[in-house]
Structure 1
């Protein structure tokens, strides 16, 4: 189903106001705002195409028909759940701003989505990954090898997101306390610990950073080859390339290193609340998925090793 632009239906100004609210008041990232507005624009385009010219005329059956049409087009349950959430958020805001008299989307239910366990790597895989990256860096010329090792060590050592890593400035890492100051989702700041290998790798990269640094580099911690702040796509290429050197490891990407960090912490005895704070999860329920990964591994080891499994 195509998504019309905001000016292709009667409520373009309302959509723009909602976008400002999401960005300025809720502090959502540009990517998140774009996703929400895409869903809302699709909904309003659907309604306009069926003669709804006044938001006050929209009812819950209209919203259900919108979801049903997408389901008939083959939309996945996760997509439907996301779009139902977008509709609820928009109409709740519209009621608060007296654009509609009632919140008709409050009763719009999301389809249940089965949550797949994320792929991850073992602790042995992680050690092999870092050793292989360090060996490759030792044989390379220029700062790229040192930068790539530092990226891998920081991602795995701290569990931060790709966007958070790209946003790091040099002053955000405090070697004395072994921590990094991170700006996460919703512009929420948190401090995460970094281990000795990550700090050592960062020092090695900073010793060579000047070879790429330009006046436009500012205080960015990680740089691209032209001296600009590193792009998330470059970080993903670094991680995928490093993982290809470990044949038995799944190609999990940068977010998979975040999963691995959380899983390995829990396997080592860390408490769930501490892991939640390190990852920057708003809800403990989001963090609990990693306990299922640990449980699965424990069960697999039991089934393989116990004579009466």
Structure 2
């Protein structure tokens, strides 16, 4: 593979998930194939910006959204940054490229009522699988961790006495996230039922399938979608929306933005600020209900 060293770099140094690395690989292969077809160019390192621009135009003409095109170009840009870093090229042909304009994507969090209906009112089976599924939802909502972070949790990462979990985030950055009493109680129950299925291969993996194997990304997504679909008509029902819900509900209830940043494992405050949109909407609603001059009486 012409970019194997870059793939190794993403995996070993950047600690990206398999899903993300595969996306990068496909984007680079797509660009290489385009250049081989249209410019008889077999090396991504040798292309210029006009060739890249032709690729971008072709993607748009194929009907890809600006957001999808930007994601593909971002893969290419990351590769050129790697080549610069390893001194394989002297100039980044994408250094002055400006991303295509996109509409701001607003992700709608679940309401407190919807979360209550899932976690308080819904009946989960009194089995290993029922307990695990409820804990998946509870832990996402109680901690705001990412899907990959949850999948890679170990039993040793759980501190029931201190009511915290140790999370290994992006770029191998560790953080400790508090868990509420209800979540801690459910964790104890799950750990007891987990003994029914655990085996040597998955001895320290926290979340398991009923056959004792470690859970995986699509399984987590299907589980979240399955249960949230019973209480919500929102189009998007995913682990990320639960993370979004966690942050929004914290901010709505007065949590400090910097504290939420640390809990989410964000490296910059700008990443956390995207969650303030819904909090501002809630604040305006409360203002409208409470401010005397808004009264129609």
- TM-score normalised by L of structure 1: 0.86
Q: Once superposed, what is the RMSD of the aligned Cα atoms?
A: 2.2
Q: Does 1:107 align with 2:96?
A: yes
1:251 Cα deviation after fit: 5.4
CA distance in 2, matches of 1:53, 1:216: 43
Q: Which runs of 5+ in 1 are unaligned?
A: 1-11
1:197 Cα deviation after fit: 1.1
**1:198 aligned residue:** 183
Alignment check: 8 A CA contact 1:60 1:107 kept: no
1:200 Cα deviation after fit: 0.9
Equivalent position to 1:25, from 13, 27, 45: 13
CA distance in 2, matches of 1:158, 1:271: 15
**1:186 aligned residue:** 171
Q: Does 1:224 align with 2:218?
A: no
1:249 Cα deviation after fit: 6.4
- TM-score normalised by L of structure 2: 0.89
Distance 1:108 1:196, change over 3 A: same
Distance 1:235 1:56, change over 3 A: closer
Alignment check: 8 A CA contact 1:132 1:245 kept: no
Tell me the alpha carbon deviations over residues 257-302 of structure 1, each in whole angstroms, 9 at most, x when there is no partner: 1111100000011111111111122232121111001112333555
Matched ranges for 1:133-282 at <5 A:
133=122, 136-137=123-124, 140-246=125-231, 252-282=237-267
CA distance in 1, matches of 2:42, 2:237: 46
Tell me the alpha carbon deviations over residues 73-125 of structure 1, each in whole angstroms, 9 at most, x when there is no partner: 11111112112222222223223334334222211221132221212111222
Q: Does 1:296 align with 2:281?
A: yes
Judge which range, 38-47 or 246-255, deviates more. 246-255
**1:9 aligned residue:** none
* Count of residue pairs the alignment pairs up: 292
CA distance in 2, matches of 1:240, 1:56: 42
DSSP-derived class of the 2:94 partner: helix
CA distance in 1, matches of 2:236, 2:20: 25
Alignment check: 8 A CA contact 2:114 2:232 kept: no
Q: Which runs of 5+ in 2 are unaligned?
A: none
Distance 1:194 1:183, change over 3 A: same
Distance 1:120 1:56, change over 3 A: closer
**1:67 aligned residue:** 56
Tell me the alpha carbon deviations over residues 202-223 of structure 1, each in whole angstroms, 9 at most, x when there is no partner: 1111122212223333112121
Distance 1:52 1:128, change over 3 A: same
CA distance in 1, matches of 2:85, 2:275: 37
Alignment check: 8 A CA contact 1:22 1:33 kept: yes
Alignment check: 8 A CA contact 2:143 2:179 kept: yes
Distance 1:47 1:164, change over 3 A: same
**2:77 aligned residue:** 88
